[in-house]
Every structure is written in structure tokens, then in C-alpha cells.
Structure 1
């Protein structure tokens, strides 16, 4: 039997990741098995373990790493293309809402269900690549006088939590008006 070409192996690997991502979005970490992924891709379970010897944990870890990296690049573009904290935060929220809805879920599932060493890795990666960008936007807004001095660490986490939760799909429409509202809520608050 001829060995599969490297391109075929790479395609299979990408199909596995895409199927696992879709299943994770539908059912969450506990509702997904390697059997379900194999069935969705149309390959034998042994083939999955050839590509992902660490099984479901390895698949979820890679999906989380990719989601974090993809969002970091999207955040960087939004920051580069806008000048004010309000415009940057609105653009970042809009980016999150226009992207794959499973990003927040796969990262949350990785932080909840993977072994501690992987949880630590995912949290550190998220903090370094994504959280620090948001915190810097807020701190730049304080430095420019656009925002009042405050606890930028908590504000950055609050923004990320709100955007992630509201951007995960469900009943809330994911659109530019919601992105604008979230940025306004953070910057203007609810006071009269």
C-alpha cells in the first residue's frame, strides 16, 4: 500500500481540527469524543491517533493555541488601524464578533478540562498574546487622557470576558452595534 503524501496527511490533520472545532462548538469538551471526530471526518479512529497521539487533549490544545494566535493577529490589526482607545476596543469587539464563535469556548474548555500543565500553557499564551494587547490599549487611553486613571488590569479582563461571552453566539446578535455598546459601556459606564 502506498504511503500517504505529506499533503494528504496535512489535509487530514486540518480536517480533524475543523471537525473537532465544530463538534466542540456544538457539544462542548465533555460532549466530544475521538469517535465522533473520526466519524465526522470519515477516517478510522486509529488515523486520528496517528495525527494526534495525545488524543482529544492534544486536539483541544492545538485548537486553543490556534484560536489565541488568530485573535492576537486580529487584535493587532485592529489596534494598528485605529487611533483611540474607544475605536480600538470597538474594532477588537467587532473582530471577535465576526470570527469563529467557538474561539472563546475552546479556550474556556481548555482552561477547564485539560491537564494543569496545558491549562497553564493556554493561560500564559492567552495572557501574553491577547490580554496584554487589551491592557495596553486601555493604558494608552489613560496616558492620552481619553480614559481616567483606573485599574487597567481589571478593565482589560472585564472587556475580554464581556466580548468573549457575548460573542460566543446564542441569542445575542453579534454585530457592530453590540461592539460599539461594549466599548461605550467600558469607557462611559452607566452613569448619567
Structure 2
């Protein structure tokens, strides 16, 4: 189903608030969220090569914008790479783009997908929901900002294990319901 961009953004914000922030999956996300420093971009790219072009454009945009205005970007791509295995393979191209275009060391890209599955897990394992979003998405992160956040956070190495425990305690049925609720969010363009 095709939605207006505002709906994809509203659904993503719902997920961000009700999963990532609510369960503190990324303790560094609160500040840019509260400060309105997250840029939400929906691309209508229908092919991976066009998505790579959009990714490069957004990295350039982020580089040209002060972190005080835009700390991070969520590049939502609902019509591209809907199959998780294709998406996972695409991440190698993302890494190559970062390296080849001179963004490595300045930015990194985190990955989210509705069917995200970590290696060594089963498809229905609750821990996969740490990276399951309503739509396929690339999260563009400033390395400097991340380094500052990591330096000021006690025991950053414990975050992944804590997240797994949190997600497993809540259970798969809970996570499915939250995602389904977010997918029901509709917003008309302003």
C-alpha cells in the first residue's frame, strides 16, 4: 500500500517513541528526538541503485548541516528492498559507498527492517525487534556525536545484552502488536 510521506514518517515516529525510546534501546536517541534534530526522509526509490543515490545525497545533506540543526537522518525506503535478505546484501553496498565517497570515519549507517533477523536467531525471536521497524530504513549517524555519547555513557558494552533481555521479556506478541499499532497511524500531508 502506498501512503503519503507524512504517514510513513508518522509510523516511523510511532515506532521510535514506542519501541526505541520507551525501552531505551538506544540511550543516545532521546536528546536528538527531544531537540527536534532528527531528519525524516522518505524515498520513493524503486531500485537499490537509486536508493544508493538517495543515501549519498542525504549523507551530503547531513555533512552540510550543523549537528545543532540536524543530528541524524532516518532514510525510510518503503518501496525498496522489502525482502530482508536482499536488504542485508545491500548493506555491503552501503559500506562501500561510505568508503568510496569519503564518508567513512565521519558517518556510519545503522540498519532497520520489518523482517530484521540477527545471525543465530530464529525469525520469531523477540530480540530481532531491536532492529525491526515499520519500514526498511537506514539510520545515518554522525561518528563524532556517537563517540561523544559513548564516552559519556556508563557501560556502553552492556547495551546490546540489556536490549535483548528487554525484548525477550516483552515477548514477540507484544512487539508485533506495537508494530501493527504504528502501521495503523495515518497522517495526511500538511
Same fold (TM over 0.5): no
Structure-1-length-normalised TM-score: 0.30
Structure-2-length-normalised TM-score: 0.30
Q: Which has the higher strand share?
A: 2
Q: Which has the higher helix share?
A: 1
Larger radius of gyration: 1
